[in-house]
Amino acid sequence: MYYMMKGKKICNVGFVSTRFQGTDGVSLETEKWVYVLEKRLGFTCFFFSGLSDWNPEMSMVVPEAFFDHPRVRRLQNKCYGTTIRGDEITNEIHQLRVRLKKHIYAFIEKYGIDMLIVENALAIPMHIPLGLAITEVVAESGIPTIGHHHDFFWERQRFLVNGVSDYINMAFPPPVMPMTHVTINTEARRTLSFRCGLSSIVIPNVFDYSSEPPGIDDYNRDIREDLGVAKDDVFILQPTRIIARKGIEHAVELVNRMGNKRVKLVVSHQARDEGKDYFKRIMDYADLLKVRLIIRPEIIGAVRGTAPDGSKIYSLWDLYPHADFVTYPSTYEGFGNAFLEAVYFRKPILVNRYSIYQQDIEPIGFDGVVMDTYITDEDVRQVKKVLKDAALRKKMTDTNFELAKRYFSYDILEQKLRMVLMNYGMV
């Protein structure tokens, strides 16, 4: 199979990732790309992954493509924390590579795929055989490909000591043609060029600021009661997963230092992709500081639904309208979806000055409570002031919304995608 696509309009786009499910950042951002490609540019999108809750008629699911599949997890655990690997590991990597490669070719043939968009599977080596399989498919077929890179291996401590540096250099990301590399921030673009000699285009995370955010309705009206947050309580929302780089301990400390027992901290996601130790650390820390920390995965899901006992399952969009304040004290982010969401819902926010925020977001002039590495008395004072002053809150959140609409909207994404597609002569 060989692609000669110059001058041919793309019809069918195939997205490839380890999973398309839930509310992780990669899945959320992929949905936005799909919307713009289909609704604004007229393409049809299909999906290849190891785990999916997306439209089954448009999807091919191969369980071994999921990074947390038991076979893959066992294999990956043997590749990191050591600088050598046995031949049995090499053999298993290639056995799985061959199997996945056949499925990717089958996916391309079944849906008549004209272009691949690989979502992070060629950036962070959480699934080495899948990265190798995708790389070989692109190199062998010549299919036009966009590598949408959210996180690189050098940004994660746990990947730095490994016995698979040859595979990482080959496929994370790969120096193959015809592939366009897309990063989500300027630091990633610079580092990719420095480390790999690869040029890239920056396409930031975006949001649909042309639409009004959902508010309080008959369905979510009872969410405070179901969470155990009274009407006169201060509802602080931490809209992230419970993983170490989210810095949730800073949100816990903030609530403690506010000195108000009516302040409740709600964490939206329980997902623990990086182990259970940090989850236990946060629970113990909240208990130590006597902070009311609310984590209710049984009633907060990716979408609205009904639990087995007949009770409501709420979505993240049901939490935001009820929140009085949002905390986002991450120590590292590829960009910052939760920041854009809080701005969309016109909520005041505390944000840590993580490196990408300093470079790509802060210079635009957003107005919020900004901590620098740790919580200070001044940070606490500012949060209290914002919560008390409705006029100040409105000015802050309206300003932030207009700035985000100008710099991080779907219009920006459409312009950037058109630029990428023009490189292939396809629009």
DSSP letter string over 280-303?
HHHHHHHHHTT--EE--TTTB-SS
CA proximity to 349, closest of 304, 399, 306: 399
Q: Is residue 119 part of a domain?
A: yes
Range 110-126 average pLDDT = 96
User: In terms of residue numbers, what domain contains 152?
Assistant: 12-206+410-423
Range 257-267 average pLDDT = 96
72 with 176, same domain: the answer is yes
Q: Is residue 211 part of a domain?
A: no
Tell me the Cα Rg of the chain. 22
Asked whether 425 and 396 are in contact (CB, 8 A), the reply is: no
119 with 47, same domain: the answer is yes
Confidence category of residue 425, pLDDT binned at 50, 70, 90: low
416 with 285, same domain: the answer is no
142 with 20, same domain: the answer is yes
Which two tokens mark 54?
């997306």
- Domain harbouring 121, CATH code: 3.40.50.2000
- Tally of domains in the chain: 2
Average pLDDT, the chain: 93
Q: Is residue 194 part of a domain?
A: yes
Range 221-237 average pLDDT = 96
> What percent of the chain has pLDDT above 70?
96
Asked whether 100 and 133 are in contact (CB, 8 A), the reply is: yes
- What's the angle, vertex CA 235, arms to CA 231 and CA 238, rounded to 5? 155
- Start-to-end CA distance of the chain, whole Å, equals 23
Range 156-160 average pLDDT = 90
Predicted pLDDT of residue 337: 87
Pick left, alpha or beta for residue 397 (phi over 0 → left; psi -120 to 50 → alpha; otherwise beta): alpha
Range 241-260 average pLDDT = 95
Q: Is residue 4 part of a domain?
A: no
pLDDT of 81 over the 90 cut? yes
Residue showing tokens 């490839």 = 16
Predicted pLDDT of residue 310: 87
CA proximity to 137, closest of 2, 331, 285, 298: 2
Query: CA 54, CA 186: separation in Å to the nearest integer?
Result: 31
pLDDT digits (tens, 9 = 90+) for 326-376: 999 999 888 888 999 999 999 999 999 999 999 999 999 999 999 999 999
Predicted pLDDT of residue 422: 85
Which CA distances in Å does 230 have to 155, 191, 346? Answer: 40, 47, 22
273 with 184, same domain: the answer is no
Which two tokens mark 124?
């962070």
Range 368-388 average pLDDT = 96
Which two tokens mark 77?
């655990």
Q: Is residue 217 part of a domain?
A: no
Predicted pLDDT of residue 385: 97
Predicted pLDDT of residue 334: 83
Range 272-289 average pLDDT = 86
In this prediction the pTM is 0.85
Instruction: Please tell me which residue, 9 or 167, carries the higher pLDDT value.
Output: 167
Asked whether 9 and 42 are in contact (CB, 8 A), the reply is: no
Predicted pLDDT of residue 417: 95
pLDDT of 9 over the 70 cut? no
320 with 197, same domain: the answer is no
Predicted pLDDT of residue 276: 84
284 with 419, same domain: the answer is no
Instruction: Please tell me which residue, 336 or 193, carries the higher pLDDT value.
Output: 193
366 with 243, same domain: the answer is yes
84 with 231, same domain: the answer is no
191 with 236, same domain: the answer is no
35 with 184, same domain: the answer is yes
User: Alpha helix locations (H) across 142-276?
Assistant: 165-171, 186-196, 223-227, 248-258
